Structure 1
Amino acid sequence: MRVLLVCLMLATGGFTGSQSAAETRVPGSQAEISLSFAPLVKQATPAVVNIYARRVVQERSPFAGDPFFRDFFRNAPGRARVQNSLGSGVILSADGIVVSNYHVVGQATDIRVVLNNRQEYAAKVLLGDEEADLAILQLEGAEDMPHLELRDSDTVEVGELVLAIGNPFGVGQTVSSGIVSGLARSGTATGNARGYFIQTDAPINPGNSGGALIDVMGRLIGINTSILTRSGGSNGIGFAIPAGLVAQFVKQAHDGFDRFQRPWAGMTGQPVDADLSETLGLDVPGGVVISALHPASPFAEAGLQVGDVILEVDGSAVNTPPEMLFRMSVAGIGAMSDVLYARDGDVAHAQVAMTTPPEVPAREQVSLGEDAVLPGLTLSRINPRVEAELGTSFAVKDGVVVLDPGPYGARAGLAAGDVVLGVNGRAVQAPGDVDVLMRQGGRRVQIEALRGTRRMVLQFRL
């Protein structure tokens, strides 16, 4: 703190004398000359690594989507191309657990991690999540690794000094400084990440993704993930995923999960603005008003109703649905969270269980065999677990969804996530109905489906 105090006094003219004298004052002792972030950087940089990942992608023919040529090129093999990505990561334990961004290592076939002392390790992804844009890796054969301590990101305050460490543009490990510019940023980050972020003006550039945002004690407060920019370089608006969520990722990786398990809210809601707060009888805008509740929602089981306004989760204010989902994710599966909510002008507490999405109703999954009309077509009932696996929320909650269209279903125009409403003019009640109804249509088959909110009719001949 002595370093920070002296630096701030120099910057603001806190020493005796005029403002001009303070601005031109030179260090008066060897101790003042040596004031810097160097000891902190020396402590933290060994735990920040460079990550080189390779993935093989199949490029489709440009004619495959053309209405005239698509039948000729539909089954043509794509050209394999190697795609390289460069990013950063942070070692979190002595046995080589590393956190990075999903967009750096997701679907990679070869991952190479290089420490700042030039040691190299192969790595594998233990757990990844595209929506959160986080991935947990394990370094192969690593032991006694330098690592950073996670700080409780809820204790971070706007104005704190921070350092961003990473490998921007591949030039090598680089350190930049700044402050925490904002908290609880949601809906502002670019790329795949969705949710809740720490904002900083510490310069972050391409290649910094997955690197460390640390405080003046050398503790990790966030993983740098994205920037807002028009030029491609840093404009002083960068975003980091809070360490609180990183801790849950590490825990689930240790528990053996390969996909991140989010607590299920079973509800939809919207932020409370000034107009809505007046309608709801709130003194000030804030919170998330519940607009719909699934019958099996843990919030419904705890006594909450449509129209209630959720104000806090575990003592932290929530003002947007992504912020509420972040608070639930940080609490983790199996926890009981204290939820503060308002109803008709009164405020109350409820204990809400953090649970995984239920399999209600049973999915009754069906994969059609070789003798079916559309071999390889895989169907399931819609339920909360299926919605979570597909990463979507269907417009209808009781129906049959396509999990995999198979080669013939794709040729007919079906895609994963399509909801099958009817076949040959008859409503579909269960996954097993689809093939039965297609066989009853003679040589011509008609499928009515819902893609998002758009209804469509697919017709083909056998």
Structure 2
Amino acid sequence: MLRATLIALTCAVSTFATAETRVPQSQAEISLGFAPVVKKASPAVVNIYAKIVRQGRASPFFSDPFFKDFFGRGFGTPQPRVQNSLGSGVILSDDGYVVSNYHVVGSATEIRVVTTDRREFSATVVLGHEQSDIAILRLEEAENLPFLSLRDSDQVEVGELALAIGNPFGVGQTVSSGIISGLARTGTATGNGRGYFIQTDAAINPGNSGGALIDVNGDLIGINTSILTRSGGSNGIGFAIPANLVAEFLKQAQQGNDSFVSPWAGMSGQHMSADIAESLGLVIPLGVVISDLHDLSPLREAGLKVGDVVTHVDGDEVNSPAEMKFRMSISGVGGSSVLTRLRGDQSDEVEVALIKAPETPAAEETVLDDTTVLPGLIVSRINPAVITKLGLPLSLTGVVVVDPGPYGARAGLRPGDVIETINAVDIQRPGDVERAMTNPGRRVQMGLQREGRSVSLRFRL
């Protein structure tokens, strides 16, 4: 029993250092367990209560004058529904910056944060990113708060002890223990996140989202975000967003950014499968195969080509597009990264500029007004920034639906639809949509590209 306890209480060194083990020196240390770590870290983990107002669906007879006159002018009016969201968060600075998951607070109209000593703060989202499932909050009138230090998550190793702190099922702050089960997990997490995760078997349940995953020194390893489960409870497969990415979000929030800016690679790629590796003459499947490059891609500018294999970013191995994006994102915009490129049997290093997605050509975003048949429809010219925002294929050009608006949605339009024609008139610019939607006649026929398929949309006015 003593030997098992000694193994379980191995310790890691301080922040941004290589992990090593230490045997407890006394019976007193053994009997303490994780209590000192929890006592240090738990005050920086908060409960988050978010109120989300969602617009209800309109009655199918909402626009029919007969039913409005018969049942009253309020007939069929969509009624808002209030939903309450429960989650956790971690204080990152003494002046009230808090990190949580986007799916907890991203759509909230009111956010209340409660600390372990029962103080309550109003909070606002100052920086959020749905694709990364991260949101940075700022607490109002907060000062001298306890906060967690961020550990270099690249130094985390499989097998390390880890603690998850959060508010599962709303029962109150809870601590669960486990180990780091895996690193560089991509495409396996549920929820909004589609990135690069740390895997742990420390129990994570609903309400833990946004809570802390810490090491035995009480330093933050990651932010708990999701689980794989069929029952809704923990099966021992949980995922956390690495602290290094959280650090970049915090940095941008403190700089005043209201949206997260990540370096744009302007590429699509695929992980190196055994079959692809064999076709390229590689013994070990390693790296990301570049399958497409945008004309303005900084990788193309640096000399990379379709078919090249990127094996490392700044010396760190990459084996999926999500992992490559993560490695570039934690470096931030404005500098450069060194990519290790494999072309044929030759390997070399290429320096790539870390830039924002270009706004070339100009987006010319246009909101249709009440003089058109689809007021509220927002369209934009496609450029790299729009491609990044909407998650579109690199090769797309033309005019895209950014937001269909209430009438456009009812007509069947979706965000990401590329409008090619309206009533047989070719659409090249957002202004073409506005003109075509002004007095179009009694019928409208739209030719669209939707997720690689041609779609024809018809409706009567």
Do the two structures share a fold, i.e. TM-score over 0.5?
A: yes
Is 1:189 aligned to 2:186, yes or no? no
Matching residue of 2:101: 101
Deviation at 1:432, TM superposition (A): 2.1
Q: Give the SS at the match of 2:80.
A: strand
Deviation at 1:81, TM superposition (A): 1.8
Matching residue of 2:456: 457
Aligned pairs for 1:170-249 within 5 A: 170-249=170-249
Matching residue of 1:49: 46
> Whole-Å Cα distance in 1 between the matches of residues 440 and 29 of structure 2?
87
CA deviation map 1:199-257 (0-9, x unaligned)? 11111111111111111111101001111112211111111100000001101111111
> Whole-Å Cα distance in 2 between the matches of residues 380 and 321 of structure 1?
27
Deviation at 1:426, TM superposition (A): 3.3
CA deviation map 1:111-142 (0-9, x unaligned)? 11111111111111111111111111111111
Is 1:423 aligned to 2:384, yes or no? no
> Whole-Å Cα distance in 1 between the matches of residues 29 and 332 of structure 2?
46
Aligned pairs for 1:13-412 within 5 A: 31=28, 34-61=31-58, 64=60, 72=64, 76-390=76-390, 392-394=391-393, 397-412=396-411
Asked whether the 8 Å contact 1:101–1:225 carries over to 2, the reply is yes
Q: Give the SS at the match of 2:330.
A: helix
Q: Give the SS at the match of 2:85.
A: strand
> Whole-Å Cα distance in 2 between the matches of residues 258 and 96 of structure 1?
16
CA RMSD of aligned residues (A): 2.6
Q: Give the SS at the match of 1:34.
A: helix
Matching residue of 2:5: 7
> Whole-Å Cα distance in 1 between the matches of residues 220 and 413 of structure 2?
45
| Structure 2 unaligned blocks of 5 or more | 11-23, 69-74
> Whole-Å Cα distance in 2 between the matches of residues 331 and 165 of structure 1?
28
Question: CA 1:442–1:47 in structure 2 vs 1: closer, same or farther (change >3 Å)?
Answer: closer
CA deviation map 1:338-396 (0-9, x unaligned)? 11110011101111111111112222333344434544433221111112222x21475
Deviation at 1:152, TM superposition (A): 0.5
Find the structure with the greater CA-based Rg: 1
How many residues align? The count is: 439
Q: Give the SS at the match of 1:331.
A: coil
Question: CA 1:82–1:442 in structure 2 vs 1: closer, same or farther (change >3 Å)?
Answer: closer
Amino acid at match of 1:413: G
Q: Which range moves more in the overlay, 142-151 or 414-423? A: 414-423
Amino acid at match of 1:150: L
> Whole-Å Cα distance in 2 between the matches of residues 404 and 149 of structure 1?
39
TM-score by length of 1: 0.89
Amino acid at match of 2:421: G
| Structure 1 unaligned blocks of 5 or more | 13-26
> Whole-Å Cα distance in 1 between the matches of residues 261 and 331 of structure 2?
12
> Whole-Å Cα distance in 1 between the matches of residues 419 and 94 of structure 2?
50
CA deviation map 1:234-293 (0-9, x unaligned)? 111111100000001101111111221121111110011111011112221011100110
Asked whether the 8 Å contact 1:88–1:100 carries over to 2, the reply is yes
Q: Give the SS at the match of 1:360.
A: coil
Asked whether the 8 Å contact 1:277–1:283 carries over to 2, the reply is yes
What percentage of residue pairs aligned between the two structures are identical?
63
Amino acid at match of 1:259: S
> Whole-Å Cα distance in 2 between the matches of residues 207 and 98 of structure 1?
16
Asked whether the 8 Å contact 1:198–1:222 carries over to 2, the reply is yes
Amino acid at match of 2:378: T
Matching residue of 2:72: none
Question: CA 1:452–1:339 in structure 2 vs 1: closer, same or farther (change >3 Å)?
Answer: same
Deviation at 1:332, TM superposition (A): 0.9
Q: Which range moves more in the overlay, 70-79 or 254-263? A: 70-79
Asked whether the 8 Å contact 1:395–1:453 carries over to 2, the reply is no
> Whole-Å Cα distance in 2 between the matches of residues 47 and 347 of structure 1?
46
> Whole-Å Cα distance in 2 between the matches of residues 447 and 357 of structure 1?
29
